[in-house]
Amino acid sequence: MATIPSHHYLRLPHPINQKTQHSLSLKPHSTHITTFQTMRAISRTNDEASVSSRVEPESYELTTAEHIRRRDSDAKESKSLRDTWRKIQGEDNWAGLLDPMDPVLRSELIRYGEMAQACYDAFDFDPFSRYCGSCRFTRRHLFESLGIIDSGYEVARYLYATSNINLPNFFSKSRWSKVWSKNANWMGYVAVSDDEEASRPRLGRRDIAIAWRGTVTRLEWIADLKDFLKPVSGNGIRCPDPAVKVESGFLDLYTDKDTSCKFSKFSAREQILTEVKRLVERYGDEEGEDLSITVTGHSLGGALAVLSAYDVAEMGLNRTRKGKVIPVTAFTYGGPRVGNIRFKERIEGLGVKVLRVVNEHDVVAKSPGLFLNESAPHALMKLAGGLPWCYCHVGEKLPLDHQNSPFLKPTVDLSTAHNLEALLHLLDGYHGKGQRFVLSSGRDPALVNKASDFLKDHFMVPPYWRQDANKGMVKNTDGRWIQPDRIRAEDHHAPDIHLLLTQLHHPS
């Protein structure tokens, strides 16, 4: 009764993957399949799909024949990614893939979006937890703890940052005095696709994925942005041009450290660069594999994704010892502007590809630089380039509109319009400009309400339903209710960062 059917909004370029049908998966093409075993596939031509009439979803079934047809189609599309992954990663700036929407790209955008979503789902937001601000799960069990079975990735490192005065409203802090860390917050992870048959042949390469956590509900941090552009070289990023500037809050968050804290005694920047270097040396130099570096993030995490993707390229970490260039791509979701026009020119000149998925009603994607930005005449931008508040988006934009989804309330508040799960839902139904909203995979729309009140009421999905049993309290063997210990050494163990840092600064 409370299941959301998808009958009339559904078509199925992506088939059922039997192995993963009962769980989420980060594998390409099987990502959303988990939720739609019972859907009836509806054949639909492009013309049919563009019909704009709205029919409320009904119940549905999946016939065996459709089941098999989709499995075959799955195999075909899987091959497709293997052959086309460089284009999907933006080799040609996604020319011809966005309108009409390429089904493989759509699936990949949802997959990487889910890697960013995992940062929210795993984060401890509860100020009454003594682990507030940490990841709720150990590194080795992150995906499976989130119900993402057989993800095809291993988490190589957790990322931490230390709170800084520029973004006081971004950091989550415990109300208690005895806590896991006074100032650090878990910020995401570096993962690498694994050796399993299921993974590499699908991806077509070894993927190093970096996911940054952003902020879901509290948008106060936007107001905190100082709107102040700062040269990246001022914070130690190796850029020869002092005119390349990014917003100071993002930059500080990326480079600040706290030597008294074992989680943030190295900056997020140092954590990420050393880990990327290690993985490139291992899989690129030693194994000679094809590699990709994909950075993903929502909201403020989108800004960090762009900044860190740029840094990786600026540091030359996307080159193997033999000089082979590794494509660097940032997929961002509801990301704000990051830097000035010189930053845009620099990052694009370095070959970093950025695709920004945005809900047109999301104010974050218009910040900072609401008044003077890339839509101003180019000459004016150039002229104003030296001003501290002259921002510019980078890369390509994929504009979505939540008012096109018949599942969502048309009018919502700003933080709801900014929701990542909603963006993934919008991606799933997007087929191109002016095309009718039709779910491609049947990715469960109920996920939208995990941390929002966005679904229309008649679907009867509780708002903000994602929560832990008993706020994580468990009965111990003595029968007492406690918050169990959580932080393990493996999550912040970083014996190799010192050595790798030396190598970074003095490349052999």
Q: How far is the CB of 335 from a second copy (least distance, A)?
A: 27
Residue with tokens 């095309």: 435
By C-beta, is 197 or 485 nearer to a second copy? 485
Pick the binder of a second copy from 7, 19, 37, 93 (CB under 8 A).
37
In 3D space, the residue among 160, 156, 161, 186 whose CA is nearest the CA of residue 281 turns out to be 156
Does residue 480 belong to the site contacting a second copy (CB under 8 A)? yes
Pick the binder of a second copy from 82, 483, 487, 504 (CB under 8 A).
483
User: For 39-152, where are the E strands, in sequence order?
Assistant: none
User: Looking at the DSSP assignment, which residues form a beta bridge with residue 330?
Assistant: 295, 354
Q: How far is the CB of 25 from a second copy (least distance, A)?
A: 10
By C-beta, is 33 or 280 nearer to a second copy? 33
Pick the binder of a second copy from 45, 52, 223, 481 (CB under 8 A).
481
What does DSSP say about strands 229-231 and 245-247: parallel, antiparallel, or unpaired? antiparallel
C-alpha 23/C-alpha 39 separation (Å) is 16
Does residue 233 belong to the site contacting a second copy (CB under 8 A)? no
Q: At what angle do helices 300-314 and 341-349 cross, to 10 degrees?
A: 50
Catalytic annotation on 163?
no
In 3D space, the residue among 250, 483, 477 whose CA is nearest the CA of residue 368 turns out to be 250
Cα 213 to the center of its chain, rounded Å: 8
Answer for the pair 296, 354: CB distance below 8 angstroms, yes or no.
no
Pick the binder of a second copy from 479, 489, 507, 508 (CB under 8 A).
479
Binding segment for a second copy among 110-118, 332-340, 387-395, 458-466 (CB under 8 A)?
458-466
Element of type H or E holding 304: helix 300-314
Q: Which pair of structure tokens corresponds to residue 433? A: 């400009």
Pick the binder of a second copy from 259, 323, 434, 457 (CB under 8 A).
457
SS3 content of the chain, % helix, strand, coil (to 5): 35, 15, 50
Catalytic annotation on 311?
no
Q: How far is the CB of 457 from a second copy (least distance, A)?
A: 7
Distances (CA, A) of 250 to 186, 344, 389: 15, 15, 14
By C-beta, is 63 or 467 nearer to a second copy? 467
User: For 114-244, where are the E strands, in sequence order?
Assistant: 153-162, 184-193, 206-212, 229-231
Q: How far is the CB of 128 from a second copy (least distance, A)?
A: 4
Does residue 54 belong to the site contacting a second copy (CB under 8 A)? no
Binding segment for a second copy among 17-25, 194-202, 278-286, 429-437 (CB under 8 A)?
17-25
Q: Which pair of structure tokens corresponds to residue 305? A: 């994704």
**Binding to a second copy in span 425-454, by CB under 8 A:** 444, 446-447
Residues 6+ apart with CB under 8 A from 436: 49, 50, 51, 52
By C-beta, is 130 or 393 nearer to a second copy? 130
Element of type H or E holding 245: strand 245-247
In 3D space, the residue among 338, 296, 375, 255 whose CA is nearest the CA of residue 119 turns out to be 296
C-alpha 218/C-alpha 167 separation (Å) is 12
Q: Which pair of structure tokens corresponds to residue 324? A: 């082979």
| Active-site choice (207, 258, 362, 428) | 362
By C-beta, is 16 or 239 nearer to a second copy? 16
Helix (H, G, I), strand (E, B) or coil at 211: strand
Does residue 64 belong to the site contacting a second copy (CB under 8 A)? no
Binding segment for a second copy among 72-80, 191-199, 409-417, 477-485 (CB under 8 A)?
477-485
By C-beta, is 47 or 478 nearer to a second copy? 478
C-alpha 334/C-alpha 415 separation (Å) is 11
User: Looking at the DSSP assignment, which residues form a beta bridge with residue 208?
Assistant: 192, 293
Helix (H, G, I), strand (E, B) or coil at 198: coil
Q: How far is the CB of 130 from a second copy (least distance, A)?
A: 6
Catalytic annotation on 299?
yes
Answer for the pair 51, 290: CB distance below 8 angstroms, yes or no.
no
Pick the binder of a second copy from 68, 75, 95, 482 (CB under 8 A).
482
Q: Which pair of structure tokens corresponds to residue 51? A: 């019909």
**Binding to a second copy in span 92-151, by CB under 8 A:** 126, 128-130, 147
Interface with a second copy (CB under 8 A), residue total 50
Pick the binder of a second copy from 30, 34, 73, 267 (CB under 8 A).
34
| Active-site choice (73, 107, 193, 299) | 299
By C-beta, is 39 or 268 nearer to a second copy? 39
Element of type H or E holding 69: helix 64-88
**Binding to a second copy in span 141-200, by CB under 8 A:** 147, 175-178
Pick the binder of a second copy from 468, 498, 499, 502 (CB under 8 A).
468
Does residue 463 belong to the site contacting a second copy (CB under 8 A)? yes
By C-beta, is 378 or 480 nearer to a second copy? 480
Q: How far is the CB of 198 from a second copy (least distance, A)?
A: 18
| Active-site choice (14, 32, 402, 418) | 418
Distances (CA, A) of 166 to 218, 348, 453, 478: 16, 27, 30, 45
Q: How far is the CB of 140 from a second copy (least distance, A)?
A: 22
- Binding residues (CB under 8 A) for a second copy: these are 1-4, 21-24, 34-38, 126, 128-130, 147, 175-178, 444, 446-447, 457-458, 460-471, 473, 475-483, 485
Q: Which residues are catalytic?
A: 299, 362, 418
